[in-house]
């Protein structure tokens, strides 16, 4: 479960944001829509406490993330939050498999190569596990990114514009995979996007 309460943020005094309150229960999905520049990435980064709000709270399960110190926040995020970034960030010197188990390492968990292989076959990139990530197409990298986000069975999955560079077929596929994965592990799924194609795929929507 994720809930926010009266979140505000500033990039200096010229750029101020007051975000609407959002709530997303376990197994629910929420689409946050907004045009370019309305603060979607900023909002997603506040939900993951990658940015610290000026005021307000971010509650995940029973924990108010804004009350945690930096080290506790990083540990909480690694264990409980899976993030699919707008542009996938991988360690380019590592294989796809090692990029996946890196998520275990960062969450202080045992490396689970079996789960990585299982996710790779579910998400359709099992043949690429030993390749470097830059040898994969954009659509394949996006699927690896989803697998990495769910490696630790997080409570919350946050996805930033996961479909903006994909064609219609891959867009449908990525949204289906995100929804299936979040339902399988009982997570809350929050997607921020300007991609109007996603409007029909989500019942719960908030506009920034
Ligand atoms: N580090 C920063 N310092 C100052 N201003 C910033 C910074 N990051 C973003 N902004 C500004 O804040 C606003 C919101 O940016 P943000 O990236 O959150 O928007 P967005 O809705 O995700 O946009 P897009 O859909 O184009 O990715 C923009 O006007 C941007 O220029």
Q: Is the model's pLDDT at 26 over the cut of 80?
A: yes
CA–CA dist 15, 136 (Å, integer): 37
CA distances (Å), origin 157, targets 47, 93, 122, 137, 208: 10, 26, 17, 23, 19
Verify whether ligand 1 is closer than 6 Å to residue 11 (CB atom).
yes
In three-state secondary structure terms, 168 is helix
Verify whether ligand 1 is closer than 6 Å to residue 42 (CB atom).
yes
Which residues does residue 63 pair with via DSSP β-bridges, in sequence order? Answer: 60
CA–CA dist 207, 189 (Å, integer): 16
pTM for this prediction: 0.91
Q: What angle do CA 60, 76, 142 make, to 5 degrees?
A: 85
Verify whether ligand 1 is closer than 6 Å to residue 51 (CB atom).
no
Q: Is the model's pLDDT at 36 over the cut of 90?
A: no
Q: What separation in Å is there between the alpha carbon of 115 and the centre of ligand 1?
A: 35
Structural domain boundaries in the chain: 25-34+67-201
CA distances (Å), origin 33, targets 45, 79, 167: 15, 27, 19
Which ipTM value was assigned to this complex? Answer: 0.95
> Among residues of the chain, what percentage have pLDDT more than 70?
100
Q: What separation in Å is there between the alpha carbon of 69 and the centre of ligand 1?
A: 25
- Tell me what the mean pLDDT of segment 130-135 comes to: 96
25-34+67-201 maps to CATH 2.40.50.140: no
181 vs 130, higher pLDDT: 130
Contact present, 197 and 171 (Cβ < 8 Å): yes
């Amino acid at each position: 479960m994720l809930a926010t309460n009266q979140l505000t943020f500033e990039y200096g005094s010229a750029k101020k944001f007051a975000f609407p309150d959002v709530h997303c229960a376990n197994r629910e999905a929420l689409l946050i829509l907004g045009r370019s520049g309305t603060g979607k990435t900023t909002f997603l980064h506040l939900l993951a406490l990658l940015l610290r709000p000026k005021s307000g709270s971010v509650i995940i399960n029973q924990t108010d993330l804004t009350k945690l110190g930096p080290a506790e926040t990083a540990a909480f995020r690694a264990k409980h939050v899976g993030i699919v970034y707008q542009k996938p960030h991988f360690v380019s010197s590592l294989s796809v498999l090692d990029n996946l188990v890196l998520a275990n390492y960062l969450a202080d968990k045992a490396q689970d190569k079996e789960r990585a292989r299982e996710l790779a076959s579910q998400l359709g990139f099992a043949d690429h596990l030993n390749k470097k990530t830059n040898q994969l197409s954009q659509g394949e990298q996006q699927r690896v990114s989803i697998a990495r986000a769910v490696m630790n069975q997080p409570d919350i999955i946050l996805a930033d514009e996961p479909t903006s560079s994909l064609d219609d077929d891959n867009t449908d596929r990525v949204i289906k995979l995100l929804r299936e994965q979040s339902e399988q592990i009982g997570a809350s799924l929050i997607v921020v996007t300007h991609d109007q194609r996603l409007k029909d795929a989500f019942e719960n929507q908030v506009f920034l």
